[in-house]
Amino acid sequence: MQPIRLQMEYQVTIKETHSHALRINPSSAKEAEEKRREIYSNEEIAFDYSDQFSDVLAKAKEETLTPYYRSKDCDFTLFNGDCFELLPRLNFKFDMIFADPPYFLSNDGISVQSGKIVSVNKGEWDKGGTPEQIKNFNKRWIKFCHDKLKEDGTIWITGTYHNIFSVANCLTELGFKILNVITWAKNNPPPNISCRYFTYSTEFIIWARKYEKKPHKFNYETMKLLNGGTQMTDVWRIPAVGMWEKACGKHPTQKPLRLLYRIILASTNEGDTILDPFAGSSTTGIAANLLGRKFIGIEQEQEFVELSYRRRELLDNSVEAQKLLKKMRETPEEIMVLVNHARPKDYQLMIEKGICYLRAGDSKGSLLVQKGFERLGYVLLHTNGDNPQLYPLTKKGFQIWTAESLQELGFSAEHAPYYAVLCFDSSNPILYDQPVNLHQRTYTNVVKIKPLSDFIRIK
Ligand SMILES: C[S@@+](CC[C@H](N)C(=O)[O-])C[C@H]1O[C@@H](n2cnc3c(N)ncnc32)[C@H](O)[C@@H]1O
């Protein structure tokens, strides 16, 4: 092996918890460590996690691999090369690995895309070999990934029938424990032009942890919340990649950001570090950074590292980043929240009775049928923007009550003859950490429907 060129860059961010950040630029890892000790002799001060991340490259076996690109905040590092060569040289353990390896389905077949007949070939990297060659290929890179995972780390690997059985066998043989096989059901698959079998509309994603017996991270409550309060199943309905995700260029097998959003949210926490050894256009890195996670990717094709670079640079524009984050968090089946203002007296009574109401029909302030009404799963009660409380609905849909029947219960329903009534579980308030500023609008008391992702934790 060629001796490795040393190109070291040390950026150590030291943060005194919650007060201020201090950036130093020492010339070596040793000097960085000395500076750190000098400035912070008090051992009780917690260092920010990003410290350790900046050290990844500095520490790599006395060598530093030169990345093709590193974002200004060091949260996104991309290597241009062969993962078989680079993986063993990364001296770092990751919290999670997402791998979208070649499926080996470039077999000169044809498919339909936007009404046109196209070849299914993706590139040289996707051309298959014998089953044995495919197995060797998978076993080698999965073994490297095993070495690079933390003890409680998990790996997600995508595939279709062409590669997924081989991947599953390799995982088991290498000591991983398979946790789930997610079926990703696309609601907009390309048609089957032979008309001799069913349309392919699914892909599989194996989720496995490093060891049989060591516990792994799973943000169960967040997934349940996203699923409207019931356990999320292993069938995920997420559309195929959209045009809005291809503004910087296209990758032939680009994964949707929405898929990565769910995967990352399910199995990592803010500040965690994620590896993608077959990064492609770096969908994993984009989703990771939008969610406050760090990313290291490896991609062998120049064309795709350039595309990744353009995608990541766009995130430095905070308006663009916010737009992407919002789009990524919405799905066509997303659970919605009814944001409902109540007068202080009614607010208390609503919580006591577990019901809330809004004007029905076309009277002023009523909620006419709006997009998302059929997917309501939660109600957020507030009084003029204050005291917001999020509760799960106990019944899907609503009932129509007369004003008199509400007044009999003590409510001051006096502006309309009929009201739409929804029942919620007031004993089960939902904690959320994405406060929506309800004071922002002039008409705070107009009822609204908002996506649940506006409220839930991404930390
Ligand atoms: C299925 S694509 C990944 C697409 C990616 N998930 C995205 O959303 O853009 C697989 C990628 O792995 C790259 N690749 C294949 N073999 C590789 C290797 N040995 N080392 C690094 N990259 C490789 C290919 O160039 C291709 O871009």
Predicted local confidence at residue 5, as pLDDT: 43
Asked whether 144 lines ligand 1 (CB < 6 A), one says: no
- Of 37-46, 148-157, 403-412, 432-441, the poorest mean pLDDT is in 37-46
Torsion of CA 394, 400, 404, 407, to 10 degrees: 30
Q: What is the mean pLDDT of residues 308-319?
A: 97
Asked whether 298 lines ligand 1 (CB < 6 A), one says: yes
Ligand 1 atom closest to the Cα of residue 126 is 15
Cα–ligand 1 centroid distance for 125 (angstroms)? 8
Q: Is 149 in contact with 94 (CB distance < 8 Å)? A: yes
Maximum average pLDDT range among 117-126, 256-265, 387-396, 437-446: 256-265
Greater confidence (131 vs 369) lies with: 131
Look up the pTM and report it. Answer: 0.78
Predicted local confidence at residue 17, as pLDDT: 36
Measured CA to CA, the distance from residue 280 to residue 299 in angstroms comes to 6
Predicted local confidence at residue 110, as pLDDT: 63
Cα–Cα–Cα angle for 383, 386, 388, nearest 5°? Answer: 85
333-351 per-position pLDDT tens digit: 788 898 888 888 899 999 9
Asked whether 251 lines ligand 1 (CB < 6 A), one says: yes
Identify which of 239, 234, 251, 255 has the alpha carbon closest to the alpha carbon of residue 179: 234
Ligand 1 atom closest to the Cα of residue 241 is 8
DSSP one-letter code for 11: -
Asked whether 254 lines ligand 1 (CB < 6 A), one says: yes
Greater confidence (178 vs 384) lies with: 178
288-297 per-position pLDDT tens digit: 999 999 999 9
Pairing of strands 418-423, 355-359: antiparallel
Predicted local confidence at residue 247, as pLDDT: 94
Cα–ligand 1 centroid distance for 63 (angstroms)? 25
Domain 67-329 bears CATH identifier 3.30.70.580: no
Asked whether 100 lines ligand 1 (CB < 6 A), one says: yes
Distances (CA, A) of 320 to 118, 242, 254, 280, 284: 32, 16, 20, 21, 17
Cα–ligand 1 centroid distance for 101 (angstroms)? 6
Asked whether 76 lines ligand 1 (CB < 6 A), one says: no
Please state the domain extents for the chain. Answer: 1-48, 67-329, 336-454
Asked whether 304 lines ligand 1 (CB < 6 A), one says: yes
Greater confidence (188 vs 272) lies with: 272
Predicted local confidence at residue 78, as pLDDT: 97
* Residue 366 pLDDT exceeds 70: no
Backbone phi and psi for residue 98, each to the nearest 5 degrees, phi listed first: -115, 130
Secondary element (H or E) of residue 77: strand 76-80
Predicted local confidence at residue 14, as pLDDT: 41
Measured CA to CA, the distance from residue 339 to residue 367 in angstroms comes to 11
Q: Is 181 in contact with 157 (CB distance < 8 Å)? A: no
Question: Taking phi first (over 0 means left), then psi (-120 to 50 degrees means alpha), and beta for anything else, what does residue 74 get?
Answer: left
Measured CA to CA, the distance from residue 401 to residue 284 in angstroms comes to 48
Confidence of residue 187 (pLDDT cuts 50, 70, 90): confident
Measured CA to CA, the distance from residue 326 to residue 320 in angstroms comes to 10
Asked whether 82 lines ligand 1 (CB < 6 A), one says: yes
Cα–ligand 1 centroid distance for 434 (angstroms)? 34
Confidence of residue 459 (pLDDT cuts 50, 70, 90): low
* Residue 24 pLDDT exceeds 80: no
Confidence of residue 3 (pLDDT cuts 50, 70, 90): very low
Greater confidence (434 vs 280) lies with: 280
Predicted local confidence at residue 398, as pLDDT: 87
Cα–ligand 1 centroid distance for 138 (angstroms)? 13
32-91 per-position pLDDT tens digit: 656 655 554 433 333 333 444 444 544 444 457 899 999 999 999 999 999 999 999 998
- Return the best residue to mutate from 124, 125, 307 for the ligand 1 pocket (most ligand atoms within 8 A of CB): 125
Predicted local confidence at residue 453, as pLDDT: 79
Confidence of residue 15 (pLDDT cuts 50, 70, 90): very low
Q: What is the DSSP string of 91-108?
A: ---EEEEEE-------SS
Measured CA to CA, the distance from residue 431 to residue 459 in angstroms comes to 13
Q: What share of the chain is helix, strand, coil (3-state, %, to 5)?
A: 30, 25, 45
